[in-house]
A and B are shown apart, each in its own frame.
Chain A
């Protein structure tokens, strides 16, 4: 039996909504099949007031073993470092986070806000929000760069806005069943199993990407969304087109450009007008190129691909 505690800081509850929709395994499977005991969760917990405080204090003291501490949302430090803008169970949430993280065998940050600070931490960051161990791409965050949980791991970051439900439950199962040490993390402490490939990996528009045919308006079923509509699929690490959403689809499959929500810089360009759903260019060349591709190579590839493009690539091949 592994005890799990889930708290929310500066959060919209989107990751909770996602988690509750998990299918493989489901949130119920965690309890019935994988021996996870959910001590408390904002949408599931029964305890209130003094009872909840008692439970939290028990986790901090070690009286209640805390195997997995899941945090969703930013750690709010404002105003002036007090954390008073996000009070919970009688004190600033940041104080609970500091103590519970020290007590837990594993700490898991769910969603962009808990991992990198997300939208709340975007400049000018009025609430002085941060992620657990990162502020955007800068290492440190609330717990500090050197933080290690009792199991010897740094915070396990599962980013996304929201994170896919199965990324969450699969990692929780791995940790709860004693395979935490098998989780290989990348430089940003994301599980490599999910975040080594790109959002583009498995995208149904890859043929159009290869032949440089662009979607120019929403609703077009042909064309790649990268060239004009701001899709970040080629430079975003996520398995969104491998582990499908609702088992059916993904943003790009549905015609929605990837917003790059698993990367620390999300939301890109601070959401300045004209930067969302529009590929930013400098002298006609995309400002952000597919990862590992330089400008010269990109131009050469595009010229060759355009010249080689077959006629069908310019047509809608998804005929009803």
Chain B
């Protein structure tokens, strides 16, 4: 599946009501590590990874900061891609997930 099609599929999954674990956000290094390990265990299970990572179609405001993919350190602006190795999926700039970091 090409990147655009995969991006569309993720969008449709989220728009279709896929219940993702938006909270708690990964606020501490320990929480990040736990989540990363869990993501690794999911392997190629796309839906499972989207759920665990807490993907949303809109930015999440947390601790006074709007957590959008476009400001996340793992986001590649031109490719519209999340480069976190455990996710490695196409995204949109206004999406969000609980592994957001700047």
Asked if A1 CB lies within 8 Å of chain B CBs, one says: no
Asked if B84 CB lies within 8 Å of chain A CBs, one says: yes
Asked if B77 CB lies within 8 Å of chain A CBs, one says: yes
Partner of B63, one of A216, A283, A286: A283
Asked if A274 CB lies within 8 Å of chain B CBs, one says: yes
Asked if A228 CB lies within 8 Å of chain B CBs, one says: yes
Partner-binding segment picked from B11-19, B40-48, B64-72:
B64-72
Cα–Cα, bound, A278→B28 (Å): 12
CB A280 to nearest CB in B, in angstroms, measures 5
B85 touches A217 (CB 8 A): yes
B41-97 CB contacts (< 8 Å) to partner A: 62-63, 65, 67, 70-71, 73-79, 83-85
Mark each residue of chain A from 281 to 304: 1 if its CB lies under 8 Å from any CB of chain B, else 0. Answer: 111111100000000001100110
Cα–Cα, bound, A314→B76 (Å): 7
A284 touches B25 (CB 8 A): yes
Partner of A284, one of B75, B78, B102: B102
Q: Which residues of B contact A302 (CB under 8 A)?
A: 71, 73, 102
B70 touches A306 (CB 8 A): yes
A284 touches B67 (CB 8 A): yes
A216 touches B83 (CB 8 A): yes
Q: Which residues of B contact A278 (CB under 8 A)?
A: 29, 33
Cα–Cα, bound, A284→B74 (Å): 12
B73 touches A214 (CB 8 A): yes
CB A206 to nearest CB in B, in angstroms, measures 16
The answer to whether residues A216 and B101 also contact, given A281-B32, A282-B27, A284-B25 and a CB cut-off of 8 A, is no
A274 touches B33 (CB 8 A): yes
CB A212 to nearest CB in B, in angstroms, measures 6
The answer to whether residues A280 and B29 also contact, given A212-B73, A306-B70, A314-B78 and a CB cut-off of 8 A, is yes
Partner of B74, one of A214, A275, A298, A303: A214
B102 touches A298 (CB 8 A): yes
B77 touches A284 (CB 8 A): no
Cα–Cα, bound, A282→B25 (Å): 11
Cα–Cα, bound, A286→B102 (Å): 7
Q: Which residues of B contact A286 (CB under 8 A)?
A: 102
CB A268 to nearest CB in B, in angstroms, measures 12
A227 touches B73 (CB 8 A): yes
Asked if A307 CB lies within 8 Å of chain B CBs, one says: yes
Asked if A185 CB lies within 8 Å of chain B CBs, one says: no
Residues on B lying within 8 angstroms of A by beta carbon are 25-30, 32-33, 62-63, 65, 67, 70-71, 73-79, 83-85, 100-102
Given contacts A274-B33, A286-B102, 18 further A-B contacts (CB under 8 A): A217-B85, A227-B73, A275-B29, A278-B33, A280-B29, A282-B27, A282-B28, A283-B63, A284-B25, A284-B26, A284-B27, A284-B62, A285-B65, A298-B102, A299-B71, A299-B102, A306-B70, A314-B77
Pairs A–B under 8 Å by Cβ, sample size 24: A213-B76, A214-B74, A217-B85, A227-B73, A274-B30, A280-B29, A281-B29, A281-B32, A282-B28, A283-B27, A283-B62, A283-B63, A283-B65, A284-B101, A285-B65, A286-B102, A298-B102, A299-B71, A302-B71, A302-B102, A307-B77, A309-B77, A311-B78, A314-B76
Q: What are the 9 closest A-B residue pairs judged by CB atoms, nearest first?
A: A284-B101, A311-B78, A227-B73, A283-B63, A314-B76, A283-B27, A214-B73, A280-B29, A303-B71
